[in-house]
Amino acid sequence: MTVIQSDVLDVARRQVLEGGEGLREEQVLAVLRLPEEALQDALALAHEVRLRWCGPEVEVEGIVSVKTGGCPEDCHFCSQSGRFETPVRAVRLDIGSLVEAARQTAQTGATEFCIVAAVRGPDERLMAQVSEGIEAIRAAVDINIACSLGILTAQQAQELEDMGVHRYNHNLETARSHFAKVVTTHSWEDRWATLQLVREHGMEVCCGAIVGMGETLAQRAELAAQLAALAPDEVPMNFLDPRPGTPLADLPVVEAPDALRAIAAFRLAMPRTVLRFAGGRELTFGDLGARDGVLGGINAIIVGNYLTTLGRDPQEDLDLLDELSMPVKALSETL
């Protein structure tokens, strides 16, 4: 069925806002193709959808890398792959600094703290380090702990569940039809299988995307539909930061209007998910910061720095939420 461009927002109002049913792939594509004059209407509708199905709260998260660089995989966007000549050197974080990072994150009012490692999947040493780290954080800081440690076995998923990991992040990154252009050392299906394990073991599923890796708009719509089919609890939206030395280093930064169309379209495809502003927003939006996004369907942010790059001052984001009368989600609401 073809969707008439000008009608898609009217359809979305009934189907998504009133009915709670996300847009389908061809409808998402129509949103991604909206002319600039319709962009504000699309964002306003996505914002209404977010308020209607998720509420006004914003979920705040901090992330930290416990094992940086030297990854054997070849994700073409990633400065932590050991296969590319990038400026990132391998380093590991000690437990004391990990606990301090969790404490700093909690001080911003964040309810989620994600422990990330640049690996294909965790080995015994990393699992032991994560286990020790989680115990140490629990003893000192009141915060939900998430992990992002790559491809899991069923046993590892069980172990993480036993450690009390609240949510597990594993991104599909891009559309299935585009994946082999971006990663050759593992498949989209490998990633999908890990996401199923995460769900089977009762952890919340966090599965994100990077927009701007050379995919077509149709593939961007395909990705939204594939994410919607997964029905993740959270979708972190990243915009490509073309890192020096990576195969994608020369791609252009996603332009703000395209990024905003993607945000609105993803929200309209997934009315109930936690849609998080993640990496790349500083480059794509510059001084506009988070404002247009959180008024266009976003209901979660990463505060502070990322894994290898620096983010905005957390206070600027928190001041913005305050100004927009969007309360930061409390820990008691997440359990």
Partner 1 sequence: MSTTAAHCDGCGTPLAGADHARCRARRAATDPPRYCAACGRKLVVQVLPAGWTARCVRCGEAGVAAR
Locate tokens 């585009």: which residue?
178
Interface with ligand SF4, residue 61, by CB under 6 A: no
Q: What is the DSSP secondary structure assignment for residue 115, as one 8-state letter?
A: E
Q: Tokens 């993640």 belong to which residue?
A: 278
Does the protein bind ligand SF4 through residue 73 (CB under 6 A)? yes
- Shortest distance, position 309 Cβ to partner 1, whole Å: 4
What residue 27 binds from ligand SF4, partner 1, none (CB within 5 to 8 A, per partner kind)?
Answer: none
User: In this structure, what DSSP letter does residue 328 have?
Assistant: B
**Strand partners of residue 67:** 92, 117
**CB-nearer residue toward partner 1: 12 or 259:** 259
Task: Select from 21, 13, 47 the least CA-distant residue to 297.
Answer: 47
- Give alpha helix (H) positions in the chain: 8-12, 25-32, 36-54, 95-107, 124-140, 154-162, 179-182, 188-200, 217-230, 256-269, 281-285, 291-294, 314-323
Q: Does 81 bind ligand SF4 (CB under 6 A)?
A: yes
Helix (H, G, I), strand (E, B) or coil at 237: strand
Nearer to partner 1 by C-beta: 75 or 88?
Answer: 88
Position 118 contacts ligand SF4 (CB under 6 A): yes
Question: Token digits for 164?
Answer: 């009390």
Structure tokens at 43: 């964002």
Query: CB of 36: closest distance to partner 1 in angstroms?
Result: 25
With CB cut-offs between 5 and 8 Å by kind, which of ligand SF4, partner 1, none does residue 260 bind? none
Tell the smallest beta-carbon distance from residue 97 to ligand SF4 (Å): 20
Chain position carrying tokens 């001084």: 287
Nearer to ligand SF4, 45 or 118 (CB): 118
Burial of 236 (0-12, 13-18, 19+ CB in 10 A): buried
Stretch that binds ligand SF4, among 53-61, 72-80, 125-133, 218-226 (CB under 6 A): 72-80
Least CB distance from residue 150 to ligand SF4, whole Å? 6
Cβ-defined contacts of 4-11 (< 8 Å, 24+): 4/30, 5/30, 5/33, 5/34, 5/35, 6/38, 8/34, 9/34, 9/38, 9/41, 9/42, 9/45
Rounded Cα distance, 50 and 3, in Å: 23
Choose the binding region for ligand SF4 from 74-82, 95-103, 222-230, 322-330 (rule: CB under 6 A). Answer: 74-82
Which range binds ligand SF4 by CB under 6 A, 78-86, 125-133, 187-195, 267-275? 78-86
Q: Please identify, using beta-carbon distances, which residue of 90 and 330 lies nearer to partner 1.
A: 90
User: Which residue in 71, 137, 260, 298 binds ligand SF4 (CB under 6 A)?
Assistant: 71
Which of residues 205 and 237 has its CB atom nearest to partner 1 in the complex? 237
Total residues binding ligand SF4 (CB under 6 A): 9
| Contact present, 92 and 125 (Cβ < 8 Å) | no
97 binds, among partner 1, ligand SF4, none (CB under 5 to 8 A by kind): partner 1
Q: Does 80 bind ligand SF4 (CB under 6 A)?
A: yes
The partner in contact with residue 293, picked from ligand SF4, partner 1, none with C-beta cut-offs of 5 to 8 angstroms by kind, is none
Contact positions vs partner 1 (CB under 8 A): 62-65, 68, 87-91, 93, 97, 100-101, 104-105, 241, 244, 282-283, 303-311, 313-314
How many residues are present in the chain? 335
Q: Tell which one of 150, 271, 297, 311 touches ligand SF4 (CB under 6 A).
A: 150
What does the binding site for ligand SF4 look like in residue numbers (CB under 6 A)?
Answer: 71, 73, 75, 78, 80-81, 118, 120, 150
